[in-house]
Amino acid sequence: MNLTVLAASGRTGIALTRQALRRGHTVTAIARDPRRIPLPDTPALRRVTGDVHDAASIAAVVDGDSVVLSALGTDRAGTLLTGARAVVAAGPRRVIWLGAYGTGRSAAAAGAGAGMLAGVLGDRLPDKVEADDTVLAAGGTVFHAGMLTDGPESPRRRTVGLDAAPPFDLGAKVSRETVAAAMLDEAEEPGFPGAVALPLAA
């Protein structure tokens, strides 16, 4: 497949790009500074400069044949929604977006932990929720991951919908490699179009 990875220079974006190449896909890797994508050069990897605050730079790369996997994250309110709108407006075939478990549509399933997240995220919470809703309204899939780590991909990983979501647990971490693998599974064989999915380590 031809995949487009947004925020490809971040830790999750690097995991997505590396795993996609390993699976035999071609990848267009978008980053504000593509030189910060620490992967070997290969004909299957195209590095592109893009910034979600410049919608034209996203539209120049994303089109109706694109399957976009977003690892966009930020400490600034407004960036996620701006990014979601820019990606959706570019009209890709599919969007697979990374969000946070316990926010928006997964808050009820997460239970008491959702309240703690709201306090941590502050004014970034509405931005995160609106970004997710923008992607879902366009038929995309949003992965709500728990606390992320830099460990290896879990051999017992699984992906579930909100109907099978466990309560939020700070100790139940999930590696970025596990999340990347789940997002790529969804790109290859859609199981949760227009829905929230949870990547679990076990």
Over residues 84-112, the mean pLDDT reads 94
pLDDT at 155 over 80: yes
* 3-state secondary structure labels for all residues of the chain: CEEEEECCCCHHHHHHHHHHHHCCCEEEEEECCHHHCCCCCCCCEEEEECCCCCHHHHHCCCCCCCEEEECCCCCCCCHHHHHHHHHHHCCCCEEEEEEECCCHHHHHHHCCHHHHHHHHHCCHHHHHHHHHHHHHHCCCEEEEECCEECCCCCCCCEEEEHHHCCCCCCCCCEEHHHHHHHHHHHHHCCCCCCCEEEEECC
Residue appearing with tokens 């309110």: 77
Q: Is residue 186 within 8 Å of residue 22, measured between CB atoms?
A: no
Bigger pLDDT: 116 or 108?
108
For the record, the structure tokens of 154 come out as: 């879990």
pLDDT at 119: 67
Strands 174-175 and 148-149: parallel
* Percentage of the chain modeled with pLDDT above 90: 82
Residue 142: pLDDT over 90: yes
Whole-number pLDDT of residue 167: 86
**Does 122 score more than 90 pLDDT?**
no
Q: What is the chain's mean pLDDT, rounded?
A: 94
d(CA 167, CA 86): 33
Mean pLDDT of 120-138: 90
- The pLDDT of 104-123, averaged and rounded, is 79
> What is the distance of C-alpha 152 from the center of its chain?
18
CA distance 49 to 31: 5
* pLDDT for the residue numbered 65: 95
Taking the CA atoms of 58, 64, 67 and 73 in sequence, report the sign of the dihedral they define.
positive
Q: Does residue 118 carry a pLDDT above 70?
A: no
pLDDT band at 123 (very low <50, low <70, confident <90, very high): confident
Q: Are 61 and 152 in contact (CB under 8 A)?
A: no
CA distance 16 to 70: 9
pLDDT one-digit tens code per residue, 22-81: 999 999 999 999 999 999 999 999 999 999 999 999 999 999 999 999 999 877 888 999
pLDDT at 96: 98
Here the tokens at position 13 are: 């974006």
